[in-house]
Amino acid sequence: MAAMEEQRFEFTVVRNQPLKPSRKTLPVYDKLNRAERYYQVLANEDLKQLKRVEAALRDVKGVAKSRLTVRFDSQTSAAIFGENHDSLQTLIQLYRPRTLPPCLVKNYIAQICAICIDLHDRNLVLQGALQLGSFAKEATDHVFLMSSFGVQSASDWNSKKACPLYIAPELIRSLSSLSTTKLTPCDMFAADAYSVGLCGLMLATGRSPFTLPYTKSFTAKNLLEAKLRHNPEIPDDLDNELRCLLVHLLERSPRKRMTMHEAVQHPALRCHTDLYLGLSPQGKSAAISEGCVRRCGTSDPSVQTQVDTSYAMEAKTFTRSPTPPLLALDPSAEPFCLWLNEPLGDIDDKSSSSENNNDENNNGRSDL
């Protein structure tokens, strides 16, 4: 039953039509579509648990301004999506939480990758918009704060909406040198992979990936300059597969960096791919063919097989095939939504079990 509860409260990405209004649904504003959708909300007992979690955190700077609260699992863990940029950076520098088990870290990275893949398919990027702060109140009580400032067009990225800690090195160089070269969507997709790697590293280590001299005079400009000089510190004692994944996501060269489509085929995430991309066994073959076209320029499944076998784990590294050019993206793909899932059955039923739960949103703080 515990495993079922963990599945139930885990946030994931599903592509689904809006639910019809009912007594147990509340309107949630979808920033991507600029339209009102209706999502199921948590049961009363779940809302009470979340309310207790949030009440315990209200004295933490920035949490009181959160707009959306969701549960990760059956423990007393919560993820708070807020809009206070400075407070989340403060949390990152002040708190040093305990770490999560590698299986949960891989689980959450797979979900973020699924979000990015869905965004990239619609020519949107999350670069600089996603932040992750975290701390632990007790030995078994982990709280993760994630802040999203919305997505941006991959063809028209605005650095004003980015968090300095999560921006990719190549974008820092382009900003610091006042380069007039226009960034392409492929540049932004590669930068997203770096941001996902930073979030994954924070989940795995429970601390900021950079050793930086935070002081009152330490500015965002100082942070950007420091990031150009230092690489993220990836501990050697991490799970082998997880460390391998993070090393390739945090590659400084965008041409050598792993893409989101490559990440979900990595051994660390492959077992989560079907669940978070919502693929049934029947739809898997179609997705493989579609992935071949996007990644390899052909619908021949044998090409995909060759790509899959290139991810062979040996020691702490694996061999990557050359990154194929991205083809034209489909702007008509459906948007992603964050859901709180009911207990999941077999993956075969995943496509039909899309009437799941989401949380609520209001104009100020989430009072639940």
Angle between helices 281-296 and 301-309 (to 10 degrees): 80
HEC assignment per residue over 120-137: HHCCEECCCCEEEEEEEE
Q: Is 352 exposed, middle or buried (0-12, 13-18, 19+ CB in 10 A)?
A: exposed
**Contact indicator for 248, 315 with CB cutoff of 8 Å:** no
pLDDT of residue 179: 58
Dist CA 200 CA 248 (whole Å):
12
pTM: 0.52
Q: pLDDT > 70: what percent of the chain?
A: 29
Alpha-carbon gap, residue 359 to 188, rounded angstroms? 30
The list of the chain residues with pLDDT below 70 reads: 1-100, 126-151, 158-165, 175-181, 206-208, 210-224, 226-229, 272-368
Q: What is the pLDDT of residue 264?
A: 87
| Confidence (pLDDT) at 246 | 93
Question: What is the spatial distance between Cα 289 and Cα 285, in angstroms, rounded to a whole number?
Answer: 6
Kindly state the helix (H) or strand (E) to which residue 13 belongs, with its residue range: strand 11-14
pLDDT at 222: 67
Q: pLDDT of 223-263, one tens digit each?
A: 667 666 677 888 888 889 999 999 999 998 888 899 888 89
The candidate with the shortest Cα–Cα distance to 239, out of 290, 288, 204, is 204
pLDDT given for residue 188 in this prediction: 84
Question: What CATH number matches the domain at 2-152+160-352, 1.10.3720.10, 3.10.129.10, 1.25.40.10, 1.10.510.10?
Answer: 1.10.510.10
Structural domain boundaries in the chain: 2-152+160-352
- Where do we find the tokens 């648990």? 49
Per residue in 22-57, pLDDT tens? 433 333 333 333 333 333 333 445 445 545 545 554
So what's the pLDDT on residue 134?
40
